[in-house]
Amino acid sequence: MKGKLLIYLFLLLGYMPGLYAQNMTATEIVKKADEKFNGEKSGISTMIMMIVRPAWQRTIEFKSWTIGRENSLTLITAPAKDQGQTFLKRGQEMWSWNPAINRLIKLPPSMMSQGWMGSDYTNDDILKESSIVKDYTHEIIGEEMIMGKLCYKIKMVAKADAAVVWGHQVRWIDKKDLLVLKTELYDEDGYLVRTELGSEIKVMDGRVIPTRLELLPAEEKGNKTIVEIKDIKFNVSIDDDFFSQQNMKRLR
Amino acid sequence: MKDDLKIAWRNLWRNRRRTIITSASVFFAVFFAVIMRSYQLGSYDRMILNFIESYSGYLQVQHHKYQDNPSVDYSFICSDSLAVAISGVTNVVSVAPHIESFALASSGTQTKGVAVLAIDPEKERKFSNPENKLVKYRISKESITRLRALTGIPSEVLNKVEKNLGNSYSSISRFELDLGLSTSESKQYMPEILKFIEVPNGFLTSDDKGVLISVRLSDYLKVTIGDTVILMGQGYHGSSAAGVFPVRGILKMPSPEIDNKLIIMTIPTAQKFFDAEGKITSLSVNLTSKTHRIMSGAQNKINLLLTDKNTVAKTWEELNPVLVQQIQGDSQTGMATLGMLYLLIFFGIFGTVLMMIAERRREFGVLVSIGMQKKRLKRIVIIEMALLGAIGLIAGLLASSPVILYFYYFPILLKGDIGKMMEDYGWDAVMPTAWFGPYFYWQAVIVALMVLLATLYPLRKIGKLKEIEALRS
Amino acid sequence: MIWSISWNNVWRNKIRSLVVIFAVMVGIISGVMIVAIMEGWVKQRLHDAIYNEVSHIQVHNTEYLKNEEIHLTVNDTTEMSRAIEALSGLIGWVKRTKMVAMVNTPWANTGVIVYGIDLEKEKQVTEIYKKIVPEGGEYLDRTKPGNILISDKTAEVLKLKQYIITEEVMKALNSENVSEVVLSKLDSLKDVRFRSPKDFREALKTKLTKKELGSFGLKIIDKALDYRIRNKIQITISDKTGTPVQGTFRVCGIYKTTNGGFDQISVFVNSRELAGLYDGTSVLTHEIAILLTDIENVDSVKEKLKGISTDNTVSTWKEMAPDAAMMNDYMIMYYFIFIGIVMFALAFGIINTMMMTILERTRELGMLMAIGMNRKRIFYMIMLETIFLTIVGAVAGMLSGWILVEILGNTGIHFSTWGEGFEAIGFAAIVYPVITPSFFIIITVMVILTAIISSIWPARKALKLNPIEALRTE
C-alpha cells in the first residue's frame, strides 16, 4: 500500500522545467507521469489516513519507509490501540507485527481481502506492481480543467491478455507538472468501480506533489478513504537490511 | 328418517360378520394411514428440530444487514434487560447470545484462518451445548500400549480398539458404535478401556479469557490444554484485533470442515478482541414449538421489544431459505408415498364394499320388488355405510393412539452410519413418531372421503338394479 | 380334479376374482412405487454427491486433509497410478491440483478452492461438464487457454451474474405473453445493468405490483439474466515459498449442481495453467479421484490402495460425504417401516376381501359339503383359487408396476416448489423413480406370500361351516 501510495503522490519535477509535455504521445505521457514516481529511489513519509463510512469514521496515522516499489516498512503511530504495529512489504510478501501480542505473522491472501486496516485500499493496491504502461493501450481523448489546472484526459484500455481485471481507466494528468489529478477505474462492462482524486498540491522536500488522495468506491455512497501526507523526504539513504523482520519489532 | 336409521342399524346387526369385516377395512385404513403419517412427520420433524435447536435457534435477533454481510460491523447492542425481556415472552424457552466472525489463528510457525464463535457458556448449554462435544476419550498409541501391557483384556478386543487409533470421542455411545463389541464384551471391558483412554478436559467459565478449540485445529496448531493460541483479525469498524488466549478445552465437531477451524470463546472476551464492547452479532431464541402460530406470535412480540430499529427478529425459515425449499421438496416425496398407501387402503375398503353388495343383491332385489323405493334403499345404504365408516374411524383412531404414544416415548433406534452421525451431532439416534396433531384428524378425514367414494358404487348398483335378475341370483 | 374345479370357480364369479386380482395388483404396484420413489430420491442425492463431488474413492496426503498446503501432495503417485490402472472395474480416475485461493473481480472477492484438472480425464470421473447452465457458456477446452469455470453462486458473489432488460429481452418476454402493461412499466429499466439478483428484484418491486410480480416475475428474471462470460477473474494463491502469486483467467462457463455449498467454493482451471502460476515445471497432485464400475467394490479397492503408502489416506465416498451415506442408511430404515405398513395393510385388505368372498359362497360351499366333498378338499380348493388369483394379480401387478416405473423413471415426477413465487430460489425437485430387480422380486414375492397367508384364516373359517345352516343362507 505504501509503495503505490507514494508513487501516486510523488512528483519529480522542479528541476526539469523543459519537460512541457506538448508533443508527447499518450503512452509517453502516462509513462512519464508514472516514471516520475518510479524514479524515486527512496522516501520517508508521515501520513494520516481517514476511513469514512456513513455511520462512522476512523483516523490512522503512520510513518513509512520505502525503497523503490519493492520494499517498504510502515509503522502505525496512532490511534493508541493500533500503535506500534508494523507492516513489512518485501516484493509480493507482506508481514505484520503486533507488539500487543508479540507476534510476527506472514499475511496470507485471505487476510487482505478486507482492505488494509479496514480502508478501501485492496490487496492489489498494496502488493501489485503497477503496470499501467505495459498492460494498457493509451489515447488522449481530450483536455479538461481539474481544480483549476489544465489536464490531459487519457483513456487507458486494458489489453486482452493483461493480468489486470480492470476494463479501462481514464486518467487526468496535469499538463504542466504531469501530476495525476484524477483517475477513474472501470470494469470490463464499462461500469465505474472507483474514482481516485489528488488535491492539495504543495511543495515538499523540493517537489510539487498532491498531498491529499481520496479513494471513492463508486457503488457505496458515503464510503471513502482519504490519505494526507504530512511530511515527506526523498532520496534518503536507507539500508537494505532496514527492511527486515527484526527491524519490524524494533521500530518505534 | 328415524325409521331409515333404525332399519340401517338393524341391517348392520343382522349380519354381524359382514358388518365387522366392512368396518374393519375402514379401521385398518385409518390405523395405517395415521401411523405412516406419524412416522413421516415424526422423523422429519425431529431432524428439523435437531438442526434448529442445536444451531440456528427458532428465531434470531440480528442487525437487519447481518444476514447478507456476516461481519462484526453489523453487530448490535444487546443489554441485559433486553435479553431478560425476550426470555420473558410467551413460548420462549431459552435465549443465547452469539458473536460469530473470522480471524487468523497462529501458534509457533503455523497460521490458519479460523471461525470464531463467542458464547455465554451457561446459556449455550441449552443450545448447541458445546460441553457435549468436549473430547473425553482419545485413542493414542500410548494408551494402546498401556492397555496391552497393564490389563488382561483379550487381544481381539484390543485390536478392535486399535482400529480406531487417532480418533477422539466426546461420547461413549459413539465410541461403542465405532468399536462394535458385543453387549457382553462391552459390559465386561468398557469401563477399563475407558479409564485408559480418558483425557482431561475443561470448559469455559462465564468470564473466561481462554478459548475452546476444535480437535483438528488443535492438531494443526500443535496446541493442547494449557498452551496459548494467538488470534488476529479485523474488528469493529476496521480496528485491528489481536490477542493471546490460553486453551481451556478441546472439542470434536461433527462436521469435518468446522472441526478444522473452530475457536470458541466467551462473549466478553470476543467483545474485547473485536473492539465491540456491549455488542453481539445474533441472539438465538428457542421456542416451545415450531408451529407457524407460535413462531410468528413470538416473532412479533420480540420485534416490539427491539428499540434499535436496525435490529430485527428473523425466523429460522427466513434465515435458511434454501433449506426450507429442500424440506418442501422432500416432504412432497413423502406425500407421494403416502398417496400410494391411500390407494392401497382405498382398494381394501372398496373391495369389501364390492363383496358386500354382491352378497346382498338378492336382498336388495327382494326389497325393491316388495315395494321399497330405490331412493329409500339408497338412503338406508348411505346411513349403513356412514355408520360403518364412523365405527371404523373411531376404532382406528383409538387403536393407533397407543402405537403412536409408544413409539414416541420408545422410538426405534438407528444404527449404522446414520446412528454414528447423529451421535456426533449430539442428537439421539432415533426415529420417532410425531405427537398428535392436525395430521391425526386429516387422515381420518381422508379415509372418510374414501368411504364416501366407495359408497357411490352401491348407490349406482342399486340404481341400475333389475329386480328380476336380482331375485334370481 | 380339484385343479379344474378351482380354475372354473375362479372364472365363474368374475367380480370376486377381479377384486382379489386387483387387490394383489394394487399391493404390488404401491409397494413398487413407494420403494421406487424413495430409491429414486436417495439415488439422486447419492448420484449427485458421487458424480459431482466426491467420486467413489479419493486419495490424499494424510497431512493435506488437516491443512491444505501446497507442498502436501499425494505420496508415491507413480505407484499409486500403476495400482489404479491395474484395477479391474475402473471407469476412470483423475489427478487434481487443489489449492485454497482468493478470486476477485473489480467488484468483489471471495475465498475458493481452485481445482487444477486434466480436462479430458475429469470428464470420465465427474459430470460437472454436463452441468453448465443455459446461456452459461461452455466447459473448459484444451484448445482454449486461460479459462476458468465457476459456479452460478460464485458468479453471483463476484457480481458476474447480472441482469439487464435489453430490446431482445423485451421481445422474448412479449412472445411469452407478458402483458403490454408490464412491458411498458419495464421500459424505464431498459438497458440498466443490475449487478446482483437482489438489486434486480428490488428494482422490479418498485415498478410492478405484487400481482404482476407473482405472474411474470420469474419469467422476467429468467430472461433478463446475463452472465458475464468472458470477463476476467484474478486468482491469488500462495506458491511453494508461501508468497502470493496471481493469475488472470477468463470465465468460460457457469455450472450449477444441487449442492450449493460445493458450488460456492469450487472453481476449475486447466492444471497445467495453474502450474504456470506456482511453478511452471511440474503439476502438483493433491487429490486423486477414482470412479469404479461397481460402488460395492469401494471397500476392497480402498484396502488395495491403502497399502501403497502409509502417508496417504484413501477415503471412500461414505467418509467424504457422510450426509449422503446417512441418507442411504436412513432410507433403508424408512423402507422397512413403510413396506411393513404396506404389507400389513395389504394383508388385512386381502383377509377382508377373502372373508367376504367366502361368506358370499357360504351356500355354494355348504352345497359342496352336503354332496360329500370332504373338508380338506374344500380347503385346498379355496387355497388353489387364491393361488391362481394371486398369480394372475401378481403378473398383472408386476407388469404394470414395471411399466409405470419405466415411464416415470424417464419423465420424472415433478415436485416444484416456488416458495413465495417471485422471491423463490426456484428449487424444482424432480424424482426419477427407479427400482432394482432384486427389490422388485422381493416385493412381488412378499405380496404373493401375504395374499396366500391371509387367505388361510378365511379358508379355515369356511371349513367350520355347518352344511345345513350354510344351505339355508340367503
Closest residue in chain C to residue A194, using alpha carbons only: C106
Report the residue of chain B nearest C433, measured CA to CA: B333
- Domain closes at, from C287, C310, C333: C310
- Do the Cβ atoms of A60 and A78 come closer than 8 Å? yes
Q: Which of A116, A183, A187 to substitute to test the interface with C, most C CBs within 10 Å?
A: A187
B 110-139 residues with CB below 8 A of A? Answer: 111, 113
pLDDT at A6 over 60: no
pLDDT tens for each residue of A107-130: 877 766 677 888 888 777 776 766
Tell how many helices (H) and how many strands (E) occur in chain B: 19, 15
DSSP 3-state of C127:
coil
Residue C447 sits in the same domain as residue C364: yes
- Shortest Cα distance, chain C CAs vs residue A182, angstroms: 18
Closest-CA residue of chain A to C108: A113
* Nearest CB neighbour to A127, from listed C101, C242, C244: C244
Mutation target among C356, C416, C447 for the B interface, most CBs of B within 10 A: C356
Question: Is B361 within 8 Å of chain C by CB?
Answer: no
Domain boundary among C170, C192, C227: C227
Considering the domain architecture, whether residues B206 and B74 belong to the same structural domain is answered as yes
B172 and B25 co-located in one domain: no
Residue of A93, A95, A110 to mutate, interface with C, max C Cβ within 10 Å: A110
Q: Mean pLDDT, chain A, as a whole number?
A: 82
Asked whether residue C320 is assigned to any structural domain, the reply reads no
How many CB atoms sit inside 10 A of residue C374's CB?
Answer: 11
Whether residue C405 lies inside any domain: the answer is: yes
Nearest CB to B234 within list A81, A103, A118: A118
Q: Suggest the residue from B237, B279, B308 to mutate for an interface test with chain A (most A CBs closer than 10 A).
A: B237
CB distance B237–A106 less than 8 Å? no
Strand partners, C326: none
Average pLDDT of the residues of chain B: 84
B242–A53: do the CB atoms touch at under 8 Å? no
Query: What angle in degrees, to the nearest 10, is found between the helix axes of B16-51 and B2-14?
Result: 90
- The answer to whether residues B247 and B134 belong to one domain is yes
Residue C34 has pLDDT above 50, yes or no: yes
Residue corresponding to grid cell 482451471: C269
- The pLDDT score that the predictor gives to residue A8 is 43
Sequence-ordered list of residues with C-beta below 8 angstroms from that of B324, at least 6 positions apart, any chain:
B317, C419
Q: Tens digit of pLDDT for each residue in B272-331?
A: 999 899 999 999 999 988 888 899 999 999 999 988 888 999 999 888 877 777 677 667
Task: Indicate the residue among B268, B296, B319 that finishes a domain.
Answer: B319
Cβ separation of C342 and B345 shorter than 8 Å? Answer: no
Count CA atoms closer than 13 A to B162's CA, side-chain side. 14
- Cα distances from C51 to residues A112, C4, C55, C71, C321, in angstroms, run 35, 56, 6, 27, 12
Residue B295 and residue B328 share a domain: no
Among B319, B334, B369, the domain-final residue is: B319
Query: Which positions in chain A touch C228 (Cβ < 8 Å)?
Result: 188-189
pLDDT at res. C113: 93
Residues C251 and C346 in one domain: no
* Cβ(C358)–Cβ(C462) below 8 Å: yes
For residue C148, give the amino acid letter.
I
- Banded model confidence at residue A1, pLDDT cuts 50, 70, 90: very low
Distance CA B201, CA B224 (A): 10
Phi and psi at residue B241, to the nearest 5°: -110, 130
ipTM of the complex: 0.79
Based on the fold, state whether residues C154 and C166 are members of the same structural domain: no
Contact C326 B418 (CB under 8 A): yes
Nearest CA-CA distance, residue B22 and chain C, Å: 8
Same domain for B349 and B450?
yes
Do B138 and B237 sit in the same domain of this protein?
yes
Residue C142 sits in the same domain as residue C165? no
CB pairs under 8 A between A and B: 51
Residue numbers of C between 295 and 314 with CB closer than 8 Å to B? none
A166 CA: distance to closest CA in chain C (Å): 6
Query: pLDDT tens digits, residue range B29-86?
Result: 888 888 888 888 887 788 788 888 877 889 999 999 898 888 888 999 988 888 899 9
Domain count, chain C: 3
- Identify whether residues C147 and C262 lie together within a single domain: yes
Tell whether C157 is within 8 A of chain A (Cβ). no
The beta-strand segments (E) located in C209-255 are 225-227, 232-238, 244-255
Residue C388 in domain: yes
If asked whether residues B257 and B365 sit together in one domain, one would say no
* E-only strand ranges, C24-173: 57-61, 90-104, 109-117, 132-137, 147-151, 161-164
Same domain, C447 and C355: yes
CB contact under 8 A, C109 and A113: yes
Please report where in the chains the cell 480402498 appears, as a residue. Answer: C302
pLDDT for C127 equals 92
| Residue B381 pLDDT grade (very low, low, confident, very high; cuts 50, 70, 90) | confident
- Chain B residue numbers with beta carbons less than 8 Å from the beta carbon of A111 are 104, 113, 233
* Neighboring chains of B (3 or more beta-carbon pairs < 8 A): A, C
Residue A102 DSSP code:
T
Last residue within a domain, chosen from B266, B286, B319: B319
Point out the least confidently predicted range of B452-466, C188-202, C340-354: C340-354
Contact criterion met (CB below 8 Å) for C110 and C158: yes
Total domains in chain B come to: 2
**Residue C242 φ/ψ region, left for φ over 0, alpha for ψ in the -120 to 50 degree band, beta for the rest:** left
Measured between CA atoms, how close is C222 to chain B, in angstroms? 19
Band (A5; pLDDT cuts 50, 70, 90): low
Residue C194, domain member (yes or no): yes
Residue C248, chain A, CB below 8 Å: the answer is: yes
For residue C5, pLDDT over 90 is answered with: no
For residues A48-69, average pLDDT: 89
- Contact: B238, A96; criterion CB under 8 Å: no
Domain identity same for B113 and B23? no
Whether residue C462 is found in the same domain as residue C365: yes
**Predicted pLDDT of residue A36:** 66
Domain with B145, as residue range(s), is: 57-319
Q: Are residues B281 and B147 in the same domain?
A: yes
Mean pLDDT computed over C398-421: 74
Residues C238 and C334 in one domain: no
Same domain, B215 and B268: yes
Cβ of C357 within 8 Å of Cβ of B355? The answer is yes
Lookup: cell for B418? 446414520
Q: What is the CA radius of gyration of chain C?
A: 32
Chain B nearest-CA distance from C28, in A, is: 9
| Domains in chain A with CATH codes | 2-250 (2.50.20.10)
Query: Which amino acid makes up residue A153?
Result: K
Q: C105 and C189: one domain?
A: no
Beta-bridge partners for A226: A50, A214
CB-count exposure of residue A104 (10 Å: 0-12, 13-18, 19+): middle
Q: By CA distance, what is B110's nearest residue in A? A: A105
Least confident window among B328-332, B356-360, C251-255:
B328-332
Q: Which of C181, C225, C226 is nearest to C207 (CA)?
A: C181
pLDDT at B200 over 50: yes
What is the per-residue pLDDT for B371? 84
Mean model confidence pLDDT for chain C: 83
B13: confidence class by pLDDT, cuts 50, 70, 90: confident
Torsion angle of the four alpha carbons B152, B155, B160, B161, in this order, in degrees rounded to the nearest 10: 40
Tell me the nearest-neighbour CA distance from C112 into chain A, angstroms: 10
Residue B423 has pLDDT above 80, yes or no: no
Q: Please indicate whether, in this complex, the C-beta atoms of C234 and A165 are within 8 angstroms of each other.
A: yes
- Give the tens place of pLDDT for each residue, A224-233: 999 999 998 8
Chain C residues inside the 8 Å CB shell of B18: 356, 359
C474/B325 CB distance under 8 A: no
Q: Collect all residues of chain C within an 8 Å Cβ-Cβ radius of residue B330.
A: 41, 429
pLDDT at C244: 83
| Cis before A79 (ω within 30) | yes
The range of the structural domain enclosing residue C78 comes to 63-160+229-310
Question: What's the confidence (pLDDT) of residue C149?
Answer: 96
Least confident interval from B123-132, B238-247, B249-258, C320-329 = C320-329
This prediction has a pTM of 0.79
CA distance C31 to chain B (A): 8
Q: Which residues pair with B214 in a beta bridge?
A: B251
Q: Is residue C58 part of a domain?
A: no
Quick check: A19 pLDDT over 60? no
Lowest mean pLDDT among A15-24, A237-246, B36-45, B189-198: A15-24
Q: Distance between CA C468 and CA C462 in Å, rounded?
A: 13
Query: A133 touching C, CB under 8 A?
Result: no
Element (H, E) at C335: helix C322-360
For C299-310, write each residue's pLDDT tens digit.
Answer: 999 988 888 888
Is B104 in contact with A111 (Cβ distance < 8 A)?
yes
CA distance B384 to B357: 12
* pLDDT recorded at residue C420: 41
Highest average pLDDT, of A81-85, B26-30, C144-148, C243-247, comes from C144-148
Q: How confident is the model at residue C285 (pLDDT cuts 50, 70, 90)?
A: very high
Report, as an integer, the average pLDDT of B381-399.
89
Distances (CA, A) of B222 to B106, B107, C66: 10, 8, 12
**Cα C183 to the chain's mean position, in Å?**
38
Nearest to C261 by CA among C54, C43, C41, C42: C54
Run of H or E residues at A80: none
Q: CB A108 to CB B237 under 8 A?
A: no
Q: Which residues contact A224 (CB under 8 A, 6 or more apart)?
A: A52, A120, A214, A215, A216, A217
Pair (B123, B146) in one structural domain: yes
Contact C242 A162 (CB under 8 A): no
Whether residue B362 sits in one domain with residue B450? yes
Closest CA of chain A from C230, distance in Å: 9
B30 touches C at CB < 8 Å: no
Cell of B250: 478441546
SS3 C424: coil
Residue C427 has pLDDT above 50, yes or no: no
The C-alpha atoms of residue A66 and residue A70 are separated, in whole angstroms, by 8
Q: Which of the listed residues C264, C284, C310 is the one where a domain comes to its end?
A: C310
- The span from the CA of B467 to the CA of B464, in Å, is 9
All residues of chain A having their beta carbon less than 8 Å from the beta carbon of residue C107 are: 187, 193, 219
